[in-house]
Amino acid sequence: MTWKLGIIGGSGLYEIDGLKGEWVGIETNFGSPSDDLFIADLNGQEVVFLPRHGRGHKYTPSSINYRANIEALKRVGVTDIVSLSAVGSLKHRYAPEHFVIVDQFIDRTIARPKSFFDTGLVAHVSMAHPVCDRLVEMAYDAAIKTGVTVHKGGTYLAMEGPQFSTRAESELYRNWGCDVIGMTNMPEAKLAREAEIPYVTVAMVTDYDCWNEDHDNVDVTSVIKVLHHNSAAAKQLIKNLCEAVSGTQRTPSPHDFALDNAIITAPSARDPLMEQKLEVILRRVGANTK
């Protein structure tokens, strides 16, 4: 199997020297994704970009159609997802302009559909290890080569937003041992697991949230300023990833088989309409998996 990387991130990540492609509109069984997909070739490696908030940043973290985004990437054959996200730091050691390759999440979102599965077809996938170890190593190596300061491993607290944290919340999450805070990687990571697509988050630190009295409280202006600085490193990271997998054969990941033993609804009790709605998600296991 060949690699086909899916890149979820901000607008402009697809503006990379040598990248050639086109925007393709995709409709899913869960509605429209945030934007068309930019399906492209970068020096011989196929890659698919999806602006998480839509070009021009149209969608709030809560209004993003996460299910459509992940299903759209699944529809076009993406094998692995790399999510690039702006985050706030909850620890001194993670400074603005640093990158963190996340390996754990705490999900505090409350207003978003979090599963493809529903009444009539129920599944429980494991999220004990929410990211792919292989992609963590690849993303870390790719980040190192950009020259950015990068940390391997860290816990991402996903908050609902769109407001930033209160100081009490920020201190609570620090006491929980969280490392960074963001608004977009849940339920994205959960849905990628249900879709059997290995996933990794590259968290790009823009600020210290509001706990650090030695720094100004986070605001949009400061976030955008640091994001612009991180943009070149993020694009180079993508190029490095593509170079690493170009021309190589992809071996299976354990996450490619996440639905094995996860579907609990008996075949005789399954809703045919749900089976039809989940045809893309169930592509490998088939609708009649026991």
Query: Annotated catalytic sites, by residue?
Result: 207, 209
Separation CA 21–CA 52 (nearest Å)? 18
Residues β-bridged to residue 156: 105, 180
At residue 264, φ and ψ (nearest 5 deg) are -105, -20
Maximum Cα interatomic distance, the chain, rounded to a whole number of Å: 61
- Tokens in use for 88? 């706030």
Helix (H, G, I), strand (E, B) or coil at 103: coil
Task: Classify residue 120 as left (phi > 0), alpha (psi -120 to 50) or beta.
Answer: left
Residues β-bridged to residue 84: 202
DSSP state of 109: -
* Burial class of residue 213 in the structure, from the number of CB atoms within 10 Å of its CB (0-12 exposed, 13-18 middle, 19+ buried): exposed
**CA-based R_g, the chain, Å:** 19
- Residues belonging to the chain: 290
